[in-house]
Chain A
Amino acid sequence: MSAIHPTLNRARFRVLATFLAGLANLGTSATQAQTPRQPIVVEVAQPQIEIDIGFKGSDLLIFGQVEAGTDVIVVVRGETRTETVRRKERFFGVWTTGKSRTFITVPSFYALASSRPIDHLFPDESALQRYELSPQNINFTPLDIVPGDPTTDIFREALISNKSGQGLYDDQHYNVKFLSDQLFRTTMYMPANVPIGRYTVRLYMVRSDRVVAQRETYFIVDKVGIEEKVYRFAHEHGVLYGLFAVVLALLAGWLVTLFFRRGP
């Protein structure tokens, strides 16, 4: 990625440099306020990821500071929305759409990075469930709550595996790297099909089997350029878009006749 976007990378380092300078100042003011603790912060290098017409995915750099001797978990989540999982069923030999389940709290994107595998950080599953660490622990709320219905779990698993298959859910990263005993960084890959919206980045600081501090920041994924204009035009002004598409096609067809009539 760095080879493809040298300018972006330079921008990231500028942000990191500003951040480090800021940290030095924060450190002094903290001492003056008689709190010896270092601030706990999380920040993203790019506050906005822009999907343009040539977008092929992008790396997101996340960095921050925690107390020395702690572990770090970073979770990036997209906007929560309602999604429906449909199962294909055979009908006279042909695969048709059969049963479905709707969940109303589905994050459009979920990625987790940690300094160590998360199941090494806690003694049992309860913390993983409480903080929704890993896609398996996301609290997907079904639209129609059928208590004790085992099929809901099957649909939930199918939803997770579908999202993982699309590269939208991921928890296999142990790539939180410490630059010093307090300063950390990690990168997350935002694939080409990343949904637009406001993304939250949540930092969990873990010490002796417990989450002892949390911080949150956010960034925006948005479509820009022709891409964005066409998308918004189509979805916000369907009638005008339809007229425009028809007129464009009529003109194209007419111009071609003019052009090729002159030919041999």
Chain B
Amino acid sequence: MTVYLPIAEISVNVFALLAMGGVVGLLSGLFGVGGGFLMTPLLIFFGIPPIVAVATQANQIVATSVSGSLAHWRRGNVDLAMGGMLLAGGIVGSSGGVWLFSYLREIGQIDLVIKGSFVLFLGTIGTLMLIESVKSFIKRRRGASPQKRRHYWIHSLPLKMKFRKSGIYVSALLPIAIGGLIGFLVAIMGIGGGFIMVPAMIYLLGMPTIMVVGTSLFQIIFVTANVTFLQAATNSNVDLVLAVILMAGGIIGAQFGARWGNRLNAEALRILLSALVLMVCVKLVYDLVATPVDLYTVVIGG
């Protein structure tokens, strides 16, 4: 069954899209990550214009992060003070990101910047994940050794604040800066950013692991909502029909993923995921470097 996407302006097979949303949702359920970092490039491979893929994906992440953070909220695992600081930075960063997005679109370089950002991002994440998961795979066989907490220069920044729920005392500038940087990426790439946010919260802020996922998801709701709103208002590139199809697929996939996650070998799966991330990265690099079939593109307007 084909459906015409009103904003992307192409006809697509609705079952193929549902399946894609489902598989990415399944992966995010299995690994506890948002999946936006895989979904946006897959949508681009599917033929959705990159600018529509990014904005629509942000819209879809609003839905998945609401259901995710509600579950954490009920268990009391959301640090509102910390979430608020991250969010303050996130709103500024993501608004700046949408502004830059519009500018790059005007000068015709946005597709390149989106794809280039994904190459850098997926390349780094995929490599780190692969090394990490192979290491822990080996470590588990030898018996793990406990990790030490280190002291960085960032812990001596001014404007220190007490975050009671997380039981930490750090400079407010730190979460604002982290939120800002990741918010910027949310706008340009259509990802939730949990993938970078979670390690940053653990290693840079020193937050307890139990608070990290809920708090990260909490601020993702508002940052992606801000991006969706600004993109729709300035670039008219949020495709509601596409968003609904992706939400349906993603939500169902994530629920099954979360259930199956406990029964499967996590390390082996993580190696598979990193291989998948690297494959998507390689395909993006190929598309950027290979000589295009048509060297010319045509856009409406001057």
Contacts and interface: CB of A to CB of B under 8 A. Distances in A.
Given A51-B4, A155-B296, A246-B225, A241 B238 contact: yes
A257 B10 CA distance: 32
Interface in A80-138: 81-88, 93-97, 100, 102, 104
A249 B289 contact: no
B64 interface: yes
B172 interface: no
A83 B67 contact: no
Q: DSSP class of B's interface residues: helix, strand, loop or mixed? A: helix
B174 to A, nearest CB: 28
Interface residues of B, number: 55
Contact of B301 (A52, A83, A87, A193): A83
Contacts of A104: 302
A84 B232 contact: no
B231 interface: yes
Interface stretch (A9-17, A29-37, A231-239): A231-239
B158 interface: no
B229 A246 contact: yes
B4 A53 contact: yes
B255 A260 contact: yes
B236 A234 contact: yes
Interface string A234-259: 11001101111110111011101100
A115 to B, nearest CB: 31
Contacts of B3: 53-54
Residue of B116, B244, B296, B300 with highest tally of chain A CB at under 10 A: B296
Contact of A161 (B240, B243, B294): B294
A226 interface: yes
B70 interface: yes
Nearest to B7: A234
A8 interface: no
A257 B116 contact: no
Interface of B: 2-4, 6-7, 9-11, 59-60, 62-67, 70-71, 107-109, 112, 116, 221, 225, 228-234, 236, 238-241, 243-244, 247, 251, 255, 288-289, 291-292, 294-302
Interface of A: 51-56, 81-88, 93-97, 100, 102, 104, 143, 155, 158-159, 161-163, 165, 192-193, 223, 226-228, 230-231, 234-235, 238-239, 241-246, 248-250, 252-254, 256-257, 260, 263
18 contacts: A53-B4, A84-B302, A94-B116, A95-B292, A96-B112, A104-B302, A159-B298, A230-B241, A241-B232, A241-B236, A242-B230, A245-B232, A245-B243, A246-B228, A249-B63, A249-B228, A252-B247, A254-B70
